[in-house]
Every structure is written in C-alpha cells, then in structure tokens.
A and B are shown apart, each in its own frame.
Chain A
Amino acid sequence: MRQATELEEMNSRPRLYGLMAEFEEPTALVQAARRAHDEGYRRIDAYSPFPIEELTDAIGFHHTKLPLIVLIGGVVGCIGGFALCYWVSTSVYPLNIGGRPLNSWPAFIPVTFECTILLAALAAVFGMLALNGLPEPYHPVFNVPSFEQASRNKFFLCIEAVDPKFEEAKTREFLTELGAREVSDVEF
C-alpha cells in the first residue's frame, strides 16, 4: 500500500527492513493497526488475504492520486476521440454521407465515448501499477517465512525500521503487547 524502500535508507540501515507481527483474526489486525497509528507510527503497512475497509483508515491511509489520473485519462480520451473523428471526417478523409455536414458530431459520440472509457481504464491500470511501485521483483517482506500465508489465512502488520519512532526492542515489545501471535524480523 505504500511505495517501498528508498535506496539511501537501505544503505544506512542495512540489516533490518522492519518488524512483522502476525495475527489470526482480521479484527485483531485492525485493532493493532489502529493502536500502532495512535502510538505515532507512520511507516506501517498491513497485509490481509482480503480487503478490509477499516484497515485503510486504521493505518492512516486516506486518498491516492489515482482518481485524478483516471480523470485525466478519461478527459484526454474524450477530447482525443472527438478530435480524431473531427480531423478524419472534415479534412483528411472527407466523405459525403447522405448529404450530411462533414462535421456530423452525433456520429462521433460513440467513438468519443469508447476512447474516454479506454484511456480512463488504461490510466486506472497503469496508474495503479505506478503508484504501487509495481512491478517490483524483490521485496523484503517475503523474507519472513510465514508471510506467504498473507494470501491465505493470516493477517500481518509491518512497522518499518525507517519510521522515526522505530526502536527495535521497544517496537518488538509493543507489537507483542498488541496480541501478535509472532513477531519476526524482516531482513533485507
């Protein structure tokens, strides 16, 4: 949910990416995430096999730029689609169709509409990939052996070492207090 490590941070803290707490229940994860956010941790991320609506609020994640990107894609598609039809029909390849004016805008609307949808959808897919920093062939969280269960039946909360409040011993204790079944080191 957040763009991962930056290179310089990696060099200054070579050993630990963060601490990963494992939970059995989605509600436990949401509670833990909320507590961690209340405690002042900001570089946190949560992992769950299915979407949990409150979780995004719990980790203090509100708005993304994605809607704006999609809107721009849609507007570009709309203008582009209409401009394409207009340009082709009036100057490049003018055809007399039943005596209608060359600029017969009703006939351009279906193409305009489709181009709007097409570019908005493409902007949504590629914008989402870009904002998530995907494709990303390597991510340290996968070094935690139990993490593969995040796509099956376990729930994880990770506090990153770059968080200003992060202190290995204290954070570990904090996560254990939250009721984590297990707290593991996330190594680079």
Chain B
Amino acid sequence: MIEIIDKAPPEVDQFQRRALMVGVVASAVCVLGAIFNLDQFFRSYLVAYVFWLGITLGCLAILMLQHMSGGAWGLVIRRLLESATRTLPLLALMFLPVAFGVRSVYIWAQPVAADAPEALKQALAHKAPYLNVPFFLARAVFYFAVWNLMAYFLNKWSLEQDRTGHRPLTTRLQALSGPGLVLYGLTVTFASIDWMMSLEPQWFSTMYGVLIMGGQALSAMAFIIAVVVVLSQYKPLSEVIKPRHLHDLGKLMLAFLMLWAYFSFSQFLIIWAGNLPEEIPWYVRRLQTPWKWVGLALVVLQFALPFVLLLSRDLKRNARRLVVVATAVIVMRLVDLIWMTGPEFHEGAFRIHWMDVIMPIGLGGLWLAYFAHQLKARPLLPIGDPFLEEALAPSGH
C-alpha cells in the first residue's frame, strides 16, 4: 500500500498558480478601493480575514481532534489539515492590516464622541482596561504565538514519524493535542471577543466563543471535504479515498452543522427569553431590519437544507453531490460572518459593499495558493503512522 503514496499531483501546481493570480488581482482591486474608502477596506478585510482564519483554526482543531480519536477518516485527511495549519505564519502576517485598521473598525479604539449616549460612554469607560489598542495587539501576538507553536510541533513530529515510523511520536502528538484543544478553546474564545464581539462594545454573549468555534469546525470540515474530493480524482489519493471515507467525513460535517445550529439557536433563545435592554439590540438589528432576510437565508441554507440533504447515506457517499453541499456551506459561512458584523458597521442599515465580496476572494486566493504550496511539501498521507496500513485495509475504520 505504501509505495503508491507519493507527493501531490501536478494539478496542485496549476491550482496554486491560478489561486495566486486570482488572489493578487482581487487584492489589488481592493487596495485600489482602499484609496477611496479606507474604513470600508478595513471592515471588509476583517470579515475576509476571520473567514479564512476560521477555516485554518478549524483545521487545527480537527487535526488535534483526530489525534485524540484516531480513525481512518482522520488519517486520510491529516496531511490536508496539517497543510492548512502550516499557513498560520502567513495568517499572522495577514493580521497586520487588521492591526493597522483598529481605529477604523472598532468604536472603542476611537475617541468617544461628545454626543454619544451615556450608556455607551459608561460601557467604554468600564471596559477600557481590556479594550484598548496596546492590550488588543498584545493579545493578538499571544494568540498567534500559541497557534503557531502548536501547529509547529504537530507538523514537526508528524514529519519525523514519516521518516522513522517511531511509535512513541503518536503518544507525543496525543499528549500535545489534549491540552492543545483546551488552549484552542480559550484562545479562540478571547480572539472572537476581541476581533468580532467588541465591534459592539455594549453587547455581550457567553455563547459567542463556542459559536465561533462551531462555525470554524464547520467551515474547516466543508473545506477539507472539498479538497479531498478534488484530490481524489488524481493519484495518489484516487487509490486511497473510498466512499466510506467520504461517508465518515460527511457525517462529521453533519455533526458540526448541527453543533453550529445548536449554539446559534441557544444564543438566540437565551437572549430572546431574557429580553434585556443590553442584550436584545444585537438581534433587533439583525431580525427587525432587512438583515432578517440574510438571517433567514442562514437558517435555510446553512442549516435546514444541508441538514436534510446530509441525512442521506447515498449523498454522503457520492463525491460530486457531497462537494456541492460542502461548497454551499463554505459560502454560507462567509454570509454568516457578514451577518454577524455588517449591522455594526452600518449602524443597523442593510448595506453590502463590493469589497465585502471581493476581499474574501482576494485573501482566499492568496491563502489557497499558500495552502497548495504547503500541500506539495509532504506526502499526502502520513506514511510513518503505525495505524495507516490498518486504516487503508478494506475493512479499516
């Protein structure tokens, strides 16, 4: 089985060039846009950034999850997950525009307007020890240090195992992944509060961190399914990926989909039931303005429809149909992030700027090109893993 496991197919090269081209062109267009509307550029950039970072961090979490759980589904996608986590240094670099745009994006980073409501003034004064620019940037540096460090060791030991087949490395990867998942949970919770929830400094939700995590896991799973399906058309993965693998990945996507819906509805139910003046405005802005149609689209297209489709066993085993559902989920994840941030940017008004659409394409092109570059760097399967043979056996699980 091992000899067929080679590096990525030449089509990845071609994909990398195209992604890079699209990324450079779309980013350049947005940089031009920045000349005319700098504030909007930074806002669109933030949404595009958290979208692609979400896929990356979701991959990091699923990578650690599969080290903890084992299973054939995890072994066949491990190298894709690892490649995604190796883009974290690039994403750390891509954070710079967010750092430069802090004053354009966040109310709390701007001088308080004299005519601001008293409640807002109080909230800002109260939260100033946490929501201030130096501390904000210091926290970001800390998050990236943690994520990059975890990604570095997960990749380093996995590569070492390729060479040596050393079994204790599996134990070491597990020993990192357990605490790593806890660290992931804490850092993503704080990062999502910093980068997204603080857009509306008066509002808070204890569900926010896990909601973002559920979304990250969902978009990462959908992304990985799309990549697996594309790569399974070419050697070497065409010899490895069987309907049962897609079936397992499809089931996991369904699970993450339900997890996201569960978190999302829980947040809504708690805030709706409490109906408190400091919490409910967030939903009023999203459900009693034209934004409600976006919200409805999220319920239908990010939950109801894919949920019903993914119940089908045949669909999960059919690469073509599964990839359609996965792509729709990825697109809806972006729509979700726009819905979560847009009303804050436009004071509740329904407005979508062209950069909200082009910036994710630009950033995504650059990110995907780097992802493809990382994909080529190593064999597409963890050839040194002691469980690989077993996982690829006809009845392996």
Contact = CB atoms under 8 A, between A and B. Distances in A.
B218 to A, nearest CB: 19
B272 interface: yes
A54 B269 contact: no
B268 interface: yes
A110 B244 contact: no
A106 B395 contact: no
Contacts of B394: 53-54
Nearest to B313: A67
A106 B283 CA distance: 13
Interface in B264-288: 265, 268-269, 272-273, 275
B269 A52 contact: no
B182 interface: no
B70 to A, nearest CB: 17
Nearest to B272: A106
B125 interface: no
Interface string B143-163: 000000000000000000000
A164 interface: no
Interface string A37-79: 0000000000000001110000000000001000100000000
A53 B244 contact: yes
A71 B265 CA distance: 22
A109 to B, nearest CB: 6
B244 A109 contact: no
B313 A109 contact: no
Contact of B269 (A26, A53, A71, A106): A106
B311 A71 contact: yes
Interface residues of B, number: 11
B395 A52 contact: yes
A176 to B, nearest CB: 26
Interface in B238-252: 244
A107 interface: yes
A106 B268 contact: yes
A94 B189 CA distance: 40
A53 B275 contact: no
B269 A110 contact: yes
Interface string B362-397: 000000000000000000000000000000001100
A134 B357 CA distance: 57
B395 A54 contact: yes
Nearest to B268: A106
A137 interface: no
B269 A109 contact: yes
Contacts of B395: 26, 52-54
A52 B397 CA distance: 11
Given A53-B395, A67-B313, A107 B265 contact: no
B72 to A, nearest CB: 11
Contacts of A54: 394-395
Contacts of A98: 275
Interface of B: 244, 265, 268-269, 272-273, 275, 311, 313, 394-395
Interface of A: 26, 52-54, 67, 71, 98, 106-107, 109-110
Given A98-B275, A106-B269, A109-B265, 10 more contacts: A52-B395, A53-B395, A54-B395, A67-B311, A71-B311, A106-B268, A106-B272, A107-B269, A107-B273, A109-B269
